[in-house]
Amino acid sequence: MLEVRNLSKSFGGLRAVSNASLSVAEGKITSLIGPNGAGKTTMFALISGFLKPDEGSVTFKGEDITAQQPHSICQHGLVRTFQVVQPFANLSVRENIAVGAHTRIAKRAKALEKASEVAAMVGMEGMLDQSAGALTIAGRKRLELARALATEPSLLLLDEVMAGLNATEIHEIVDVVRSIRDAGVTIFLIEHVMQAVMSLSDYTYVLNYGAMIAEGEPRDVTRSPEVIEAYLGHGAAERIAAMEAKADA
Amino acid sequence: MSDRTRLIGWAGLLALLAIAPVFITSGRWIDFLEITLFVAVLGQGWNILGGYGGQYSFGHAVFFGTGAYIQALFQFKFGWSPWITMWFAVSLTALVASFVGYLSFRYGLRGSYFALITLAFAEALHVLSRSFDSITEGGRGVQLALNQDPGLAIATFQFNFAGPFLKAYGFYYTIFIILILAYGVTWWMERSRFGAQLVAVRENEEAAQALGINAFRVKMGAICLSAAISASAGVYYVQKYLFIEPGIAYGPAKSVEALFAPIIGGLGTVLGPLLGSFFIHGVGEITKEMIGHVFGDRPGVDLIMFGVILVLVLAFLPRGLVGLLETLWKRITGGRDA
Q: Is B207 on the interface with A (CB under 8 A)?
A: yes
Residue A35 has pLDDT above 90, yes or no: no
| Residues near B190 by beta carbon (within 8 Å), at least 6 away in sequence | B52, B270
Write out pLDDT tens, residues A117-146.
999 999 999 999 999 999 999 899 999 999
Q: Is A71 on the interface with B (CB under 8 A)?
A: yes
Structural domains in chain B plus CATH codes? 3-333 (1.10.3470)
Measured in whole angstroms, how far is the alpha carbon of residue A120 from the centre of its chain? 21
Give CA–CA dist A180/A128, Å, rounded: 20
Measured in angstroms, the CA of A80 and the nearest CA of chain B are apart by 6
Residue B167 binned pLDDT confidence (cut-offs 50, 70, 90): confident
Confidence (pLDDT) at B292 = 75
Confidence (pLDDT) at B55 = 95
Confidence (pLDDT) at B336 = 61
Write out pLDDT tens, residues B264-293.
999 999 999 999 999 988 888 887 777 777
**What mean pLDDT is reported for chain B?**
91
Q: Is B196 on the interface with A (CB under 8 A)?
A: yes
Confidence (pLDDT) at B43 = 97
Nearest CA in chain A to B218: A71
Structural domains in chain A plus CATH codes? 2-218 (3.40.50.300)
Residue B338 has pLDDT above 70, yes or no: no
- C-alpha closest to that of B239 among B87, B82, B79: B82
Confidence (pLDDT) at B337 = 54
Residue B2 has pLDDT above 90, yes or no: no
Residue A154 has pLDDT above 70, yes or no: yes
Q: Is B215 on the interface with A (CB under 8 A)?
A: yes
For the stretch B322-335, what's the b/e string if a residue is b when 16 or more beta carbons lie within 10 angstroms of its beta carbon? bbebbeeeeeeeee
Compute the average pLDDT of residues B11-34.
89
Residue A150 has pLDDT above 90, yes or no: yes
Write out pLDDT tens, residues A179-230.
999 999 999 999 888 888 888 999 999 999 999 988 999 888 888 888 888 8
Confidence (pLDDT) at A196 = 85
Which amino acid appears at position A50 of this protein? F
Residue B335 has pLDDT above 70, yes or no: no
Write out pLDDT tens, residues B257-267.
999 999 999 99
pTM of the model: 0.90
Q: Judge: B210–A111 Cβ closer than 8 Å, yes or no.
A: no
Write out pLDDT tens, residues B70-79.
999 999 999 9
> How is B9-49 classified by DSSP, letter by letter?
HHHHHHHHHHHHHHH---HHHHHHHHHHHHHHHHHHHHHII
Measured in angstroms, the CA of B202 and the nearest CA of chain A are apart by 9
**ipTM of the complex as predicted:** 0.89
Name the CA radius of gyration of chain A, rounded: 19
